[in-house]
């Protein structure tokens, strides 16, 4: 299979089919399974998936945001990885493996040794060399590839890995959803042209849709995102919409608009009215928007508030102005001032002539301040704003009249009920978990790290990069969060740690053990991934454990049905159950597995 859109004579990436037979994971006996399950909910778990992760014997915490995986958990992880590998291979990815520990020099080449904060773990090796633990592998991949690629004929290509990352997050939480050490699939593609990157980016986009669909997610949406510290322009996050998510997403099902709240734009209602004369009013000790609005008897949207930040890119203090009923979206502001907005302290504000609590862009020395006004202030009239004088505000501030020519941008945080950018729908905010992301990176890393190739005219060119991440452990916890009931997870067949859970009840009654052992042997011989509960446990214990292990198909050998030559079956997902003749049980299991659920 060849990808269409062969650009500028460059060779395309060769896609590979994925229909090779899969090696089954080993069958095993529950009496030998390492990792116990328990009844009591762990105190530290706040999310259901976190509680089940621990209760089901999938993982154990070692330190804050650092986990070990037990066999049951690792099997789920391996299944997820298998799906990811197949889809990455299918779009022509080649698997590589780069180190977690890397020398400082590599990160100085890209500039990130300085630009990234304390979440980049740094240490010295025994020889005193500065080292880092990679939090992502752009540096690693450029280092790896820059000496392998010399000609345009070698582009494009994509390499990927499934490797540990370490990020010293200020705060991890939620089981495997947000951790410091985690496994990520990260892929990197290299292209000659922007167009080639864009077309491959879309291929990867579609591969991601297949991955999430195969892993059992029905409501993952791709949203426009902020590329943040990664650099680059276009990026998408794949967000699983769920109430327990940490990210907030602006969504509109009517128009299909989806964007991370950090970058979401929309149409915010304006309040236009006839301009009235500017008037200074005494507002003793009324500092917050709530206080001022109440004191003057106006709505919050009839005010403008000023928020101070330290230094734009030129070191000037920043005053951001927005209508009083709205919040500033700091990532948007960051792009405009080309610096991370950090709130300014009072001394800094006063030092430049501002009056905290009664601040306003009116009357500020424009040579000392970077003034950025949000569009909401432009679309409303007669606002109340500070007078830059203690205990005084102005009424009837009108931007175009009173502060003509000031820098006006969209720096507002979008809210429930705003109109979509095309004005055809209404935005609703939803919570979600970011399970993957893709970036059109550009040349940030290839350029800074000196990766070049020769084109047809012997000219040195810099490859254009894309990068593509998926959090493997985060996917596992997210699947558990979505597919579960009060008793445990309900693993989709594609990621289930085992395909069939075989119970033997009253193991020591005549015939039961023999029948179950034979079924276990036959299932195993057919290449079915079966977990055989061969313990002489009471039925309640066995069933509770089976629920916590969440295996899709359960087969129960018990005295009661065995008399008729039958065994019972039960589906973990639907709760359906029935009996089937022991002679056809294997075909029944195979059919259940083949149904893919």
Partner RNA sequence: CGGGGCGUAGCGCAGCCCGGUAGCGCACCUGCUUUGGGAGCAGGGGGCCGCUGGUUCGAAUCCAGUCGCCCCGACCA
Contact positions toward RNA, by CB under 7 A?
36-44, 46, 55, 61, 63-65, 117, 119, 136-138, 169-174, 184, 186, 227-230, 246, 330, 340, 434, 437, 467, 469, 487, 505-506, 508, 536, 538-541, 543-548, 556, 558-561, 568, 570, 577
The span from the CA of 438 to the CA of 67, in Å, is 26
Nearer to RNA among residue 387 and residue 549 (C-beta): 549
Min CB(244)–RNA separation in Å? 10
**What is the Cβ-side half-sphere exposure of residue 279, based on CA atoms within 13 angstroms?**
11
Distances from the Cα of 469 to the Cαs of 428, 432, 440, 475, 501, in angstroms?
27, 17, 12, 12, 33
Query: Which one, of 449, 490, 517, lies nearest residue 574 by Cα?
Result: 490
Min CB(321)–RNA separation in Å? 18
Enumerate the β-bridge partners of residue 397.
Answer: 383
Q: Are 304 and 458 in contact (CB under 8 A)?
A: no
**What is the Cβ-side half-sphere exposure of residue 150, based on CA atoms within 13 angstroms?**
2
Nearer to RNA among residue 28 and residue 328 (C-beta): 328
The span from the CA of 169 to the CA of 175, in Å, is 14
Neighbours of 568 (CB within 10 A): 19
Min CB(510)–RNA separation in Å? 13
Nearer to RNA among residue 350 and residue 538 (C-beta): 538
Min CB(341)–RNA separation in Å? 7
Neighbours of 281 (CB within 10 A): 16
Nearer to RNA among residue 409 and residue 535 (C-beta): 535
Nearer to RNA among residue 128 and residue 575 (C-beta): 575
Nearer to RNA among residue 299 and residue 342 (C-beta): 342
120-129: long-range contacts, CB 8 A cutoff, minimum separation 24: 120/167, 120/168, 121/166, 121/167, 121/168, 129/103, 129/104
Nearer to RNA among residue 34 and residue 277 (C-beta): 34
The residue whose two tokens read 């949207």 is 301
Min CB(539)–RNA separation in Å? 3
Q: Are 468 and 441 in contact (CB under 8 A)?
A: no
Determine which helix (DSSP H) or strand (DSSP E) holds 211, and give its type and residue range.
helix 194-214
Mutual orientation of helices 194-214 and 71-90 as an angle, nearest 10°? 140
Nearer to RNA among residue 418 and residue 547 (C-beta): 547
Min CB(323)–RNA separation in Å? 20
The residue whose two tokens read 């006063």 is 350
Q: Are 264 and 250 in contact (CB under 8 A)?
A: yes
Nearer to RNA among residue 65 and residue 317 (C-beta): 65
Min CB(545)–RNA separation in Å? 5
Min CB(270)–RNA separation in Å? 27
Min CB(212)–RNA separation in Å? 16
Q: Are 82 and 22 in contact (CB under 8 A)?
A: yes
Min CB(292)–RNA separation in Å? 23
Nearer to RNA among residue 65 and residue 156 (C-beta): 65
């Amino acid at each position: 299979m060849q990808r269409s859109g062969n650009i500028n004579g460059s060779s395309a990436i060769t896609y590979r089919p994925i229909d090779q037979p899969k090696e089954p994971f080993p069958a095993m006996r529950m009496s030998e399974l390492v990792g116990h399950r328990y009844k009591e909910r762990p105190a530290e778990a706040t999310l259901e998936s976190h509680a089940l992760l621990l209760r089901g014997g999938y993982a154990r915490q070692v330190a804050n945001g650092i986990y070990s995986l037990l066999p049951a958990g690792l099997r789920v992880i391996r299944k997820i990885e298998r799906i990811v590998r197949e889809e990455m291979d299918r779009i022509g990815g080649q698997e590589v493996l780069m180190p977690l520990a890397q020398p400082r020099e590599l990160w100085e080449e890209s500039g990130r040794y300085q630009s990234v904060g304390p979440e980049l773990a740094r240490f010295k090796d025994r020889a005193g060399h500065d080292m880092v633990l990679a939090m992502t592998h752009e540096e690693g991949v450029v280092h790896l590839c820059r000496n392998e690629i010399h000609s345009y004929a070698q582009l494009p290509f994509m390499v990927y890995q499934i490797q540990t990352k370490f990020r010293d997050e200020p705060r991890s939480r939620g089981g495997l959803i947000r951790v410091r050490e985690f496994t990520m699939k990260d892929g990197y593609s290299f292209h000659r042209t922007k167009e080639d990157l864009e077309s491959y980016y879309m291929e990867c986009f579609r591969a991601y849709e297949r991955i999430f669909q195969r892993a059992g997610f029905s409501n993952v949406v791709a949203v426009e995102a902020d590329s943040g510290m990664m650099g680059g322009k276009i990026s998408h996050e794949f967000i699983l919409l769920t109430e327990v998510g940490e990210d907030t997403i602006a969504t509109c099902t009517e128009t299909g608009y989806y964007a991370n709240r950090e970058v979401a734009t929309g149409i915010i209602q304006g309040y236009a009215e006839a301009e009235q004369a500017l008037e200074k009013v005494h507002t003793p000790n009324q500092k917050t928007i709530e206080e001022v609005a109440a004191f003057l008897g106006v709505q919050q949207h009839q005010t403008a508030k000023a928020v101070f930040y330290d230094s734009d890119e030129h070191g000037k203090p920043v005053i951001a102005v927005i209508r009083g009923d709205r919040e500033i979206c700091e990532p948007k502001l960051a792009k405009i001032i080309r610096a991370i907005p950090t709130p300014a302290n009072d001394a800094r504000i006063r030092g430049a002539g501002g009056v905290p609590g009664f601040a306003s862009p009116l009357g500020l020395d424009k040579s000392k301040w970077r003034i950025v006004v949000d569009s909401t202030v432009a679309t409303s009239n007669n606002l109340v704003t500070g007078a830059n004088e203690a205990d005084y505000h102005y009424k009837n501030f009108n931007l175009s009249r009173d502060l003509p020519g000031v820098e006006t941008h969209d720096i507002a945080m979008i809210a429930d009920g705003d109109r979509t950018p095309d004005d055809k729908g209404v935005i609703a905010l939803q919570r979600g978990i970011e399970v993957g992301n893709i970036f059109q990176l550009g040349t940030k890393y290839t350029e800074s790290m000196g990766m070049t190739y020769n084109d047809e005219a012997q000219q040195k060119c810099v490859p254009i990069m894309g990068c593509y991440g998926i959090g493997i452990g985060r996917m596992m916890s997210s699947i558990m969060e979505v597919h579960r009931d009060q008793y445990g997870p309900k693993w989709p067949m594609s990621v289930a740690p085992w395909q069939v859970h075989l119970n033997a009840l009253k193991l020591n009654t005549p015939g039961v053990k023999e029948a179950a052992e034979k079924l276990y042997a036959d299932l195993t011989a057919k290449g079915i991934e079966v977990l055989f509960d061969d313990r002489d446990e009471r039925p309640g214990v066995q069933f509770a454990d089976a629920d916590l292990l969440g295996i899709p198909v359960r087969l129960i050998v018990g005295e009661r049905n065995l008399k008729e030559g039958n065994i019972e079956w039960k589906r973990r997902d639907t709760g359906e159950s029935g009996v089937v003749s022991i002679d056809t049980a294997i075909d029944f299991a195979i059919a259940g597995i083949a149904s893919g659920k």
